[in-house]
Structure 1
Amino acid sequence: IFIRPWGISSCVDGEFLGSKDNCGFLYIQRNNQCIENLFLPEPPYLFGILLNRWELPWANVFPLRVMFRFGLQYQYYPWPLFGVANREPVYGEVGHTILSLLCDFRSYSYTLPTVRGLTITIKEHGSVSVRIPRNRYEEIVKGLNQSLAHVLSFGGCLNQIVQQHLVAVQNPDDQQYSTQVIKTDPTLKKNPLSSSTGSSFIVINASLRSLSPTSSPPTGYSPVSGSLGVGGGSYGKSSTIEDGVMVQVDLETLKLLKQALKDMKDYTIISNKSVVLPQQLMEHNENVNFNSDPIEQLVEFIWIENDRDINLGIRSPIDYFPMDRIQNSRIHYSLTHQHANNTHHNLRWTDIYFIDCDNFMRRLQTTTEHSLDPTKLADTIAKGFIQALTPVSDQLKEANCYKIGLRATIDREN
């Protein structure tokens, strides 16, 4: 069994670890949690968080929500690396949630598009910054292609630059959701970034009608809303909703935003004021000091440098060469081979790591007219490598060689 970060192993029927309430594990990576005095294997490794049956739907469609809820439950930011058995679930029936409109909780056929490395930050003055790594462009396009005409939504990742985050809390009596904030150590609150708050998702909804340039903003704003002006004089609203942010605009604005993202261009929705967090939330979280002073922007979508926060701690099985921040590709299909006389052991190709691949591709493009796909080339090499090792798989197991690497140097000549 191969488990990836945010993967799940579940036991739907019967008891698990002595209880019918337990249903499996959600696997996560360590962030900044303390791991001193823990006996750990060689990287890469994952931590399994024990799930209650009621929490399984959230772990399947949007695990970030349930993990931040664990963090609030045990007052550990962003979330603990341990699970607790025989406890009350942090969520019950899915109930009334905005995500029930964006995710399939029955068959899990579609979920909120979550982009690796994308972060959503609510700044001190109430504006929202969505930062997108350039090397996640394909994931953004996939989310755009799957979006409806009037709605665009993205799930974010853990925001490392903020020290507090929105959390969705469910009332067990009426199944309604409210918003709370989980914070890091209060002694760190003097950090200039401590007034910014992380959000788990953003929804842009084209629910407003376009207004003429001479029209006034719609009346009847609640304390959590702000008005924004964009091209053509249209207006919109913004608000926190559960552990995310919702922005209401007109259809033309949403079309312009989608096109800008498809063209990998920054996009800003202009505003004359913005109060994103509800007043009652600020009263209960003294460190969330958002003000309502006039500002010039409400929501900004910014393309940033490539996300390189990957493969930290991983070493090559060949010579322990550090693979930190080296781009890799997961092999999602099964390339296995089994020897005719061996019914117990399989060799499987799981990952490709591209060491200095960017420089190689640039050099190749300047000297040849044909493009080369290194993934296809690696596929050919891997097939031959696996076939060569399969006859000696018994000896490999006896020598405790469970992780095997092959490093190939590619240039124009070969």
Structure 2
Amino acid sequence: MGRSCVKIPLRKYSEIMKVINSSNEHVISIGASFNTEADSHLVCVQNKHGLYHTQAISATGHPRKVTGASFVVFNGALKTSSGFLAKSSIIEDGLMVQITPEMMESLRQALRDKKDFKITCGKADTGDMKEYVDICWVENEEKTNEGILSPVDGKSMEGTQSEKVPQGRDFQREGKVMKCTEVHYFLKNNELSSPVPYQFTKEIAIACSTALCPHLKTLKNNGMSKIGLRVSVDLDMVEYLAGSGGHLLPQKYLNELDSALIPVIHGGMSDPTSLPLKMELIFFIIEHLF
């Protein structure tokens, strides 16, 4: 009802600075996480003619109070002569905020300084009801991965920090394909001990996929199409668990994983600054359609 709030977790400051430093002077574009506090969400729907329109889907069936969006774009090309202080509008499943070049510079500086920022939208010369866009820095993110359970042992993954894994090469056998789709990091005090080397995560995913590739058909036929691989590494400890549906994989698969994973994990210990490290990779075995 006339107010949009963009919440930025303080721990995402470095990512915001990357956006600021890599974007051109007129546009800042930020993707958003799913909002678990919202009772509805914007979606972009394509019709049979290839045209897109926006809908708001309600989770409760009741009148909407808080609607989540998937992104926000700040466009700093609004001319002062337009008569508007700023404009806010829904575009596809996100929010577009048009502001003047001067306000864009003030917004950039506020983001650099980790300061909250309020944008007043509407005509400059009327007393009509205004709309507001608030950019707020928050101490903690909303609960992450709430309701997600580990395929390894069925334990809750709430509080883990997850990111999608860019798909590399496919591992396929007998009409089945194994893909690593996501990695969850178990945090200490809401922080990773240090940035996880992307190459290390990628090598673990490749080693696991290589070891299980000959067994994809058997695994999928036995209902093990979603597999979790949890890896824990410290200076004096290396451990991994692999499972599906809340149960560990049968021993014959674990034996093959041993020979594939242990050299890779020990190689990752060569950089002690990234330790201790605990993460869980998620794999899916799907039908090969081509």
Please state which band the TM-score falls in when normalised by the shorter chain. 0.5 to 0.7
Cα distance in 2, alignment partners of residues 394 and 184 from structure 1? 37
Residue 268 (structure 1) aligned with residue 120 (structure 2)? no
Cα distance in 1, alignment partners of residues 167 and 141 from structure 2? 24
**Structure 2 residue matching 1:393: 3-state secondary structure:** helix
User: Which one of the candidate residues 304, 323, 332 is aligned to 2:138?
Assistant: 304
Identity %: 27
**C-alpha displacement of 1:259:** 3.5
**Which residue pairs with 2:87 in the alignment?**
239
* Structure 1 stretches of 4+ moved >6 Å: 162-168, 179-189, 196-200
Residue 373 (structure 1) aligned with residue 211 (structure 2)? no
Cα distance in 1, alignment partners of residues 170 and 224 from structure 2? 17
Q: 1:155 to 1:343 in 2, by over 3 A?
A: closer
Q: 1:131 to 1:329 in 2, by over 3 A?
A: closer
**C-alpha displacement of 1:130:** 2.7
RMSD: 4.8
Q: 1:343 to 1:258 in 2, by over 3 A?
A: same
Q: Is the 8 A contact 1:345 1:393 kept in 2?
A: yes
Q: 1:327 to 1:275 in 2, by over 3 A?
A: same
Rg larger for:
1
- TM-score, normalised relative to structure 2: 0.54
**Structure 2 residue matching 1:404: 3-state secondary structure:** strand
Cα distance in 1, alignment partners of residues 55 and 150 from structure 2? 42
**C-alpha displacement of 1:167:** 10
Q: Is the 8 A contact 2:78 2:98 kept in 1?
A: no
**C-alpha displacement of 1:379:** 3.1
**Which residue pairs with 2:225 in the alignment?**
402
Deviations 1:42-94 (A, max 9, x none): xxxxxxxxxxxxxxxxxxxxxxxxxxxxxxxxxxxxxxxxxxxxxxxxxxxxx
Q: 1:136 to 1:183 in 2, by over 3 A?
A: same
Greater RCO (Cα-Cα under 8 Å, separation 6 or more): 2
User: Which one of the candidate residues 149, 164, 171 is aligned to 2:25?
Assistant: 149
Counterpart of 1:266, as a letter, is: K
**C-alpha displacement of 1:352:** 1.6
**Which residue pairs with 2:187 in the alignment?**
356
How many residue pairs match? The answer is 224
Cα distance in 2, alignment partners of residues 301 and 269 from structure 1? 6
Counterpart of 1:238, as a letter, is: A
Q: 1:302 to 1:387 in 2, by over 3 A?
A: same
**Which residue pairs with 1:331 in the alignment?**
165
Deviations 1:16-54 (A, max 9, x none): xxxxxxxxxxxxxxxxxxxxxxxxxxxxxxxxxxxxxxx
Cα distance in 2, alignment partners of residues 403 and 135 from structure 1? 31
What is the correspondence of 1:5-404 to structure 2 with a 5 Å cutoff? 122-123=2-3, 129-137=5-13, 140-141=16-17, 143-145=19-21, 147-154=23-30, 201-208=72-79, 221=83, 225=84, 237-241=85-89, 244=95, 246-249=97-100, 251-261=101-111, 263=112, 265-269=114-118, 292=129, 299-338=133-172, 342-356=173-187, 361-362=192-193, 373=196, 375-404=198-227
What stretches of structure 2 of length at least 5 have no aligned partner? 45-50, 238-290
**C-alpha displacement of 1:265:** 0.9
Q: Is the 8 A contact 1:331 1:350 kept in 2?
A: yes
**C-alpha displacement of 1:393:** 3.3
Q: Is the 8 A contact 1:154 1:202 kept in 2?
A: yes
What stretches of structure 1 of length at least 5 have no aligned partner? 1-120, 169-174, 210-217, 226-236, 280-289, 363-370
**Structure 1 residue matching 2:225: 3-state secondary structure:** coil
Q: Is the deviation greater in 199-208 or in 158-167?
A: 158-167
- TM-score, normalised relative to structure 1: 0.41
Cα distance in 1, alignment partners of residues 108 and 12 from structure 2? 15
Q: Is the 8 A contact 1:166 1:180 kept in 2?
A: yes
Whose strand proportion is higher, 1 or 2? Answer: 2
Q: 1:411 to 1:144 in 2, by over 3 A?
A: same
**C-alpha displacement of 1:359:** 6.8
Q: 1:306 to 1:376 in 2, by over 3 A?
A: farther
Q: Is the 8 A contact 1:308 1:325 kept in 2?
A: no
**C-alpha displacement of 1:320:** 0.8
